[in-house]
A and B are shown apart, each in its own frame.
Chain A
Amino acid sequence: MGMAAPSQAGLMDAAELAGLVERIGADRDREAFRRLFDHFAPRVRGFLVRRGLPSAQADDLAQDTMLAIWRRAESYDVAKSAVSTWVYTIARNLHIDQYRKLARADRVDLTDPSLRPGEIPAADELYARGQDASAVSEALQTLPEDQRRVLELAFMEGLSHSDIAVRLVLPLGTVKSRIRLAMDKLKLSLGDLQ
């Protein structure tokens, strides 16, 4: 691994996380799940709290997310996404489902397009995707503060781009152009980002 793991990613790198999910999918490996749980359960809960959920609800949803991971691990495909992207998408869909009053662990939308990108990545891309979260985090750090702020408000606080314009007291067009600039820059730094 040529790339240093970012400090906040902590104990495990992307390949290790992917290995754990694959072991759960193939063998219902409880030990692998415990390790994955230790990594993700606090993060998912913390993420939901940051999104404004009351503590008890964040616990419930984090629990549903972990249950979905345990039950659906065999549908995870390392070639298609990093584990962090997969877990994020499950948590997001459960969160959305909840405010649509449909929440149930067996109803996670596995047809979500984010879970099945269109192209099969080339072999040398697998390495890049395996590095996913850390590479993306590093690229995010290189963004100008005003662009990164827009992405943080969207993902961390769940604000729509028009809410972000209101929050930052900016014209909607300015927010749109910051999103566009940020995505263009991320694609340049990450190469395989389409």
Chain B
Amino acid sequence: MSRRGYFLEQGWYLDHAAGASMSPGQDMLLRSHLEVSVPARAHAVSMARIGGAMLESVEDKGELAFDADDIFALDEAFDAARTPPEPAAAIPAAAVDRPECLPAVLCDFIDREGIKLRWEFLGPGLRKAMLWHGESDERLWLLRARPGVAIPRHGHRGTELTLVLQGSFLDGDQRYVRGDVEEADPGVEHDIQIGEGEECICLALTQGKLRFDDPLLRALQVFTGL
């Protein structure tokens, strides 16, 4: 975790490791980040080790309601009840426009929730696909940006987390690549320059609508829904 500013704050990793409840959007962003960032994953492992040590230190005075033989019996019942696995289904039509860079945990989420990726116009060279919309206006969405495109200066009413899945972008002189997360706090204004060479695909979690300085873009927001 050496590159400062490319990871989430420690509290996120701790909440994940400790199994604290978080919104589906937060959970998905965090687990996608862990899947594609090796240093973040190593950090999550460190934190899980603390959980392991704490588990070892627990003393239970209560009486267990089951024993090892119950587990063997459950195991046999489990096998008996099990239906043979269905043959692998053909790739659903919805997967066609699914970029290859999407983490497996995110693909599972999309399948499980039955989400159809609908890529919509967000601005010149920019498309978005909404994945999830939660309480307090929290949104999880995918961004596809053409190489070299600029995202105009904007602020946020809430936190904005952006995880790079493919390509890169520049915020000022910081360059974000696959696995990196940018955490922009409320009030922070920034403009983003998409890296050259490759389409940039990001998973974003935002709270509240983005605030563009440009009145024209504000008008455009009526249509784009962000």
Contact = CB atoms under 8 A, between A and B. Distances in A.
Interface of A: 6, 8-9, 30, 33-34, 37-38, 41-47, 49-50, 55-56, 58-59, 62-63, 66-67, 70-71, 81-82, 84-89, 91-93, 95-96, 99, 105-106, 111, 113-114, 116-119, 132-134, 136-137, 140, 151-152, 154-156, 158-163, 172, 175-176, 179-180, 183, 186-187, 193-194
B145 to A, nearest CB: 26
Interface residues of B, number: 52
Given A187-B46, A194-B46, A118 B41 contact: yes
Interface in B102-122: 104-105
B34 A67 contact: no
B174 interface: no
A186 B50 contact: yes
Contacts, number: 207
Given A45-B64, A66-B71, A137 B57 contact: yes
B210 interface: no
Given A9-B56, A161-B14, A179-B11, 14 more contacts: A43-B56, A46-B61, A47-B60, A84-B53, A88-B51, A89-B48, A118-B42, A119-B38, A133-B55, A136-B49, A155-B54, A176-B10, A183-B47, A193-B46
B218 to A, nearest CB: 31
A95 B55 CA distance: 14
